[in-house]
Structure 1
Amino acid sequence: MRYLLSLLFCLLAGVAQAAPAGKAYMSIIIDDLGQSSARDSRTLALPGPVTMAIMPDTPHASDFARQAHKAGRTVILHMPMDPATGPYAWHPGIALEELGRRLDTALAKVPYAAGINNHMGSRMTAQRAPMTWLMAELQRRHLFFVDSRTSAATVAAAQAQAQGLAHVSRDVFLDDVRTTEAIAGQLRQGVELARKQGSAVLIGHPYPQTLEVLEREIPRLRSQGIELVSLGQMITERGNQAMPAHGRHGVYSNR
């Protein structure tokens, strides 16, 4: 319920909310969960409101979604999109009726999902018609959207904004380079960005190196002036506005 209230507030606000003086917010999402019980459990043990993005076509998807929800974490569906493959994946050219069926079955595999983000999706998120349909469908279902921004050509967040759907866009990928040094560097970039623009959304994966860095560094964020917040609160803080790297004057570039 608290997520729905937060999202409703965001939609009613209609304008970006600047962070109070000295406040800098960060949200962290871990993708690709549901594949390994050991990695899932280690991710769930991270301190703070880290979001669990669970893939529907994994052996532990449903069980881990229930476990994460019971632990009070935000659960989202990590929706496969082209060039991802599999029974749930969205691809250009698939009829909207079939896209809807795949979304239904994917959401059924990930109970308690408060929203979705794209797994891969560099081709799919650039398709205006299905992204427009998706945002309307998520609005109908009272779900939010996170644009992982796997491609600069994405129109997903722009379509979410155009329809007033509660959403945010990713600012920093933590672990494109899978070493602790590189991941720590990306986290520092996220901290600097949060200080500069008031907030930052980071996405990582349940790699041992990523989890090692987050286990060590999350407890230190507050001393750096960073408040780790849930995605619901982040959506409220941003008020559906584009960050400077994604558009101008709060409006996404790819409209």
Structure 2
Amino acid sequence: MADDLSTPLTGRRRKPAEPRSFPVARILFALVLLIGGAFILRILLTDEPDGGRPSQEVAITSTRNGNELASTVSTGPVTITADPQQYPAGTAPAAEAAGEEPGTAAGLFATLPDLVEETELGAIPRMSASGDTPFSAYLRPADQAAASGQPLVSIIMVGLGINEQGSLEAIDQLPEDVTLAFAPYGKSLGNTVAAARQQGHEVLLEVPLEPFDYPQNDPGPHTLLTGEVPRANLDKLFWLMSRFGGYIGVINNMGARFTAAAADFSPVMEELGARGLGYVDDGSSNRSVAPQLADGNEVPYARADLMIDTNPSRTAILEALASLEAKAVENGRAMGIVTALPISIAAISEWSSALESRGITLVPASALMQ
């Protein structure tokens, strides 16, 4: 040990140095930052709205004549011949019959011009200056049937207008005395309602009203709600009323909460009375104040007695129709509601064909509206 201590420092052996570790992680991190920075700079500095997607420029102009009619009009007069099937023989558009220009509210809806009011939301029905009402103008006459002394039955089919083809099939298959109610949301309501009226049916407008479990159970856009200011509900009503024309009145779609709230329902019923429209209660709520409000506003009114196709099977529907007949025999009249299901349409057609032989008369809804 003494030798070691006395040995000069320069003479000691040095331990070999440990190899230095290569900073791979730092280099990778720097590369990621470099690539990310380059990508951001490319986005900021490159004007390429297509984002690198392949594209090809095509000239807008073309030598092909894509619109012969437009080209003809631009160079000279042209005569356009209407489709002969557009207005069947013996009929004429309401606008022409009334001396109005096509495209006006009366022409569009095939309604009487004196019974149409133009609003910012569209054309809606009104009472004429002479006191004529849409209810009396558009109902299907049934005076002879009502005077027969036989029990009267009325059927209202609801839910039409959403499916154009299904609605047209229902219109063709159902007896003329079945009243048809159209939802306000179809894209071709003008066509389907016009077809229904041309076939002799009277029509109703379905108005969505607030149920107790709203909005979990939602009747649709523009639903009239409780607790809103009257103006807001009336604006919704006017929008709904402008969807088509030629109807005798409205029928509620749901609405157990709304029809039980007199303060909210009253302005609506007052508006119906002022415009000469009727109201049909579908009978789904015993708390409805519709009878009192209709009477106070002189609104033609009826309440349905039975929902026919709660069980949508042929046997159940025919049994419900038999119950409706029994109510008619007992009370002199009865009204049923049925949805626009194919099974319901077929059952109503079958049932009605033998109704007269049982001493009962099928009449439109207006015949039972006081």
The bucket for the TM-score relative to the shorter chain is 0.7 to 0.9
Moved over 6 A (4+): none
Residue 283 of structure 2 is aligned to residue 156 of structure 1: no
8 Å Cα contact 1:79-1:106 kept in structure 2 = yes
Matching residue of 2:163: 36
SS in 2 for 1:72: coil
More strand by percentage: 1
Please report how far the alpha carbon of residue 131 of structure 1 lies from its aligned counterpart in structure 2 after TM superposition: 1.9
Q: How much is the aligned-residue C-alpha RMSD, in angstroms?
A: 2.0
SS in 2 for 1:109: coil
Matching residue of 1:177: 311
- CA distance in 2 between partners of 1:56 and 1:5 (Å): 21
8 Å Cα contact 1:27-1:201 kept in structure 2 = yes
User: Please, which of 266, 276, 291 is the counterpart of residue 142 of structure 1?
Assistant: 276
Bigger RCO (CA 8 Å, 6+ sep): 1
Please report how far the alpha carbon of residue 5 of structure 1 lies from its aligned counterpart in structure 2 after TM superposition: 6.7
Please report how far the alpha carbon of residue 164 of structure 1 lies from its aligned counterpart in structure 2 after TM superposition: 2.5
8 Å Cα contact 1:26-1:227 kept in structure 2 = yes
Please report how far the alpha carbon of residue 220 of structure 1 lies from its aligned counterpart in structure 2 after TM superposition: 0.9
User: Deviation string for 1:84-114 (max 9, x for gaps)?
Assistant: 3432211111221111111111111021121
Matching residue of 1:56: 184
Please report how far the alpha carbon of residue 21 of structure 1 lies from its aligned counterpart in structure 2 after TM superposition: 8.1
Residue 347 of structure 2 is aligned to residue 213 of structure 1: yes
- CA distance in 2 between partners of 1:85 and 1:132 (Å): 20
SS in 1 for 2:242: helix
Matching residue of 1:4: 136
Assess, with a 3 A threshold, how the Cα gap between structure 1 residues 96 and 150 changes in structure 2: closer, same or farther. Answer: same
Residue 355 of structure 2 is aligned to residue 228 of structure 1: no
Q: Give the aligned length.
A: 225
State how 1:1-255 maps to structure 2 within 5 Å. Answer: 3-4=135-136, 23-45=150-172, 46-83=174-211, 84-235=218-369, 240=370
Residue identity in the other structure for 1:183: I
SS in 1 for 2:315: helix
- CA distance in 2 between partners of 1:6 and 1:178 (Å): 31
Please report how far the alpha carbon of residue 60 of structure 1 lies from its aligned counterpart in structure 2 after TM superposition: 3.0
Unaligned runs of 5+ in 2: 1-131, 140-145, 212-217
8 Å Cα contact 1:22-1:225 kept in structure 2 = no
Unaligned runs of 5+ in 1: 8-18, 241-255
Of structures 1 and 2, the larger Rg is shown by 2
SS in 2 for 1:79: strand
Please report how far the alpha carbon of residue 20 of structure 1 lies from its aligned counterpart in structure 2 after TM superposition: 6.5
8 Å Cα contact 1:33-1:61 kept in structure 2 = no
- CA distance in 2 between partners of 1:70 and 1:35 (Å): 19
> Could you tell me the percent identity over the aligned residues?
26
- CA distance in 2 between partners of 1:210 and 1:223 (Å): 21
Residue identity in the other structure for 2:164: S
**What is the TM-score with the length of structure 2 in the denominator?**
0.57
Assess, with a 3 A threshold, how the Cα gap between structure 1 residues 141 and 20 changes in structure 2: closer, same or farther. Answer: closer
**What is the TM-score with the length of structure 1 in the denominator?**
0.82
